[in-house]
Every structure is written in C-alpha cells, then in structure tokens.
C-alpha cells in the first residue's frame, strides 16, 4: 500500500535548454516546484508532485525521474500537449524566456488527484511560474484556499521570474502570502518582488503575518524569521560546481525536516535546509540529496 503523501507540491515541471559556450544547447529536466518535490522525496518524506507533463520525450523523462526520486506518482499527470520549455540564452547574467502557450502544465486537473488526498496531506507547497500562468494559477490558488480552510499548512517559494511582472500576479502573491505558514525567499527574489521598497523584508512579513520566513543569502547562509525572532544559519563550505536547484534543495530540506522531526528545534530544520543546498551546490544540476547525505554534512559541520 502506498504511504499517504504528507507533502504535496503543486507547480511546474519543465525542461531547461541552456546555451553552451560553443553555441550548442544542453537540455536538463527541471522546474522549481518539481525540484522541491524530488528533494523532499529523496529525504524520505512521502511526497506527491501535483503537476502535469507532456507525453513526449521531455515529459517522459520528467515522469521517469520523478519515479526514480520516489515520488507518489498518483499525483503526477501527463497530457498530450506541448512540453513547457525554458530557453536559457545566458547564465551570466541570467537571460531566459519560456515556450509553452498551451503546454501540458496548463492542463493540470485538480479533479484527477487521488481520492482523499487532502485529508492525508499535512503541508502543501506552491511557487514559481505556475502562479503566473493562467488558467493554472487560479486553480492552484483555489487549492491553497481550500487547504487553508481545512487547517492544512501552506508553504510558498515565490522564486521570482520575468513572468511575475504582471498586476494579476501581484494580487495573487499577496493572497498566497496571507495563507502561508512557511515562506522561503532569497535576497535576490525579495528585491525583485518588491522593487524600490526600502524595507522589503518588513513588507513581506506584513503580508505573511503567520509565516515562518526562510531568508536565504547564498554563500552568506540563511536566516529564520518569525515576528521579532531571528535565527542565523551559516552556509556549509563546499566546492561549488553550480548553484542550479540550491534554493529548491533548501526549501525541500526545510520542509522535510519539519515533517520527519516535528519536535526538533528550529535550528535543526535550518541545518537540513543549509545542508541540502550545499550538497546541491557541490553537484552538477539540481541534485537532490538523501537524508543520510544531509545528516553526514551536518555532522561534518
């Protein structure tokens, strides 16, 4: 019997096409929400990735890798639509655009989720461009609103992208922040989410009054913030291969720790978040660490 999914992640899975220095393109399976789901599953938490992928080569690879990560595949759908693609023309500085006007992710059907799934779920996660792409965004907001009414906890990583410059996203951002219990945001994301705001962190806290905030600072570590309380967590020192998926790994580690060891102190959850991010940075691509790898990193300090 499949263990009930305690953590359900909603949002996009996609294929990144990254332009290489020689002009060739490298295709890599990814997507912020999909990465968070894989990270949590690899850390031993019963996790469902609630999204839709295509039925072609790209979608099939995403589906296969989701299976290999140990995700509950009852939550993942496939539709015979075009794949969602991110064309990354430059990584330094970042420059990209998305292809997918009628792609499979937009056809995600909430009614096809497993019967009774919300009764079993403890934390629901939302984030990134899925919340800036209609009609998917409105469907996901409705799920979050229903879950909040049923006293489920909401996790949110805005993960800023160019698509989020619209007035409709600004409205949704405020609505979802108001529902959230866990919010992860990087220093770079915070600046872009609230441009010109001299005290963006205070603005975020005001919009998410009940939330614990995980504020990530790259190599400078991270801070946990709740009201006036602040707890610091340094980054673990590793030889960095790339930073792809580090933020997603930290989010997955933070939430997985809450679910695996709910009575542990906040600092223990932060260590899991920082260790997951560090391990991801030491590997190529969006690497998802195991619980044993994370604990070994913490033990080494």
The helix/strand/coil state of 52 is strand
Q: How many CA atoms lie within 13 A of 63 on its CB side?
A: 19
Question: Quick check: 226 and 182 in contact, CB under 8 A?
Answer: no
pLDDT at 1: 43
| DSSP β-bridge partners for residue 8 | 48, 124
pLDDT of the residue at 225: 97
Q: What is the DSSP letter of 81?
A: S
Task: Give 136's DSSP letter.
Answer: H
Cα angle 242, 298, 42 (rounded to 5 degrees) comes to: 65
Q: Is the pTM of this model over 0.75?
A: yes
Tokens at 74, concatenated: 């009852």
* Burial degree of 64 (CB within 10 A; 0-12, 13-18, 19+): exposed
Query: What confidence score (pLDDT) does residue 89 get?
Result: 87
Judge whether 156 and 181 are in contact, CB under 8 Å.
Answer: no
Helix axes 246-260, 291-300, angle to 10 degrees: 100
DSSP-assigned beta bridge partners for residue 192: none
Alpha-carbon gap, residue 259 to 33, rounded angstroms: 18
Residue pair 158/127 in contact by the 8 Å Cβ criterion:
yes
Inter-residue contact 48 to 71 (CB < 8 Å): yes
For the chain, the maximum distance between any two Cα atoms, rounded to a whole number of angstroms, is: 52
Q: DSSP E strands: which ranges in the chain? A: 7-10, 14-19, 25-30, 47-50, 52-54, 77-79, 85-91, 94-99, 123-127, 153-157, 182-186, 212-216, 222-226, 229-233
Q: Which residues of the chain have pLDDT under 50?
A: 1
List Cα–Cα distances, 227 to 201, 212, 213, 244, 262, in angstroms: 11, 8, 9, 31, 20
């Amino acid at each position: 019997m499949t263990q009930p999914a305690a953590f359900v992640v909603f949002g996009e899975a996609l294929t990144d096409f990254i332009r290489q220095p020689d002009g060739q393109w490298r295709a890599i399976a990814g997507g912020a929400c999909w990465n968070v789901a894989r990270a949590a599953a690899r850390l031993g938490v019963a996790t469902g990735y609630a999204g839709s992928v295509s039925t072609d080569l790209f979608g099939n690879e995403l589906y296969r890798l989701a299976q290999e990560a140990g995700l509950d595949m009852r939550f993942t759908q496939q539709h015979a639509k075009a794949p969602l693609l991110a064309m990354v023309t430059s990584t330094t500085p970042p420059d990209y655009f998305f292809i997918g006007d009628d792609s499979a992710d937009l056809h995600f059907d909430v009614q096809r989720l497993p019967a009774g799934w919300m009764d079993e779920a403890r934390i629901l996660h939302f984030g990134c461009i899925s919340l800036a792409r209609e009609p998917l965004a409105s469907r996901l907001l409705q799920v979050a609103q229903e879950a909040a009414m049923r006293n489920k906890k909401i996790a949110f990583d805005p993960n800023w992208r160019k698509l989020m410059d619209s007035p409709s996203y600004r409205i949704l951002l405020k609505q979802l922040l108001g529902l959230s219990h866990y919010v992860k945001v990087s220093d770079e994301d915070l600046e872009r989410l609230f441009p010109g705001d001299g005290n963006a962190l205070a603005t975020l806290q005001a919009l998410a009054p009940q939330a614990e905030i995980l504020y990530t600072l790259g190599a400078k570590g991270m801070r946990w913030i709740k009201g006036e309380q602040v707890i610091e967590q340094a980054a673990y020192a590793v030889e960095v291969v790339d930073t792809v998926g580090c933020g997603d790994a930290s989010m997955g580690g933070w939430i997985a720790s809450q679910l695996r060891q709910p009575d542990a102190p906040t600092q223990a959850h932060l260590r899991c978040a920082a260790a997951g991010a560090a391990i991801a940075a030491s590997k190529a691509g969006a690497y998802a660490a195991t619980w044993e790898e994370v604990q070994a990193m913490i033990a080494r300090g």
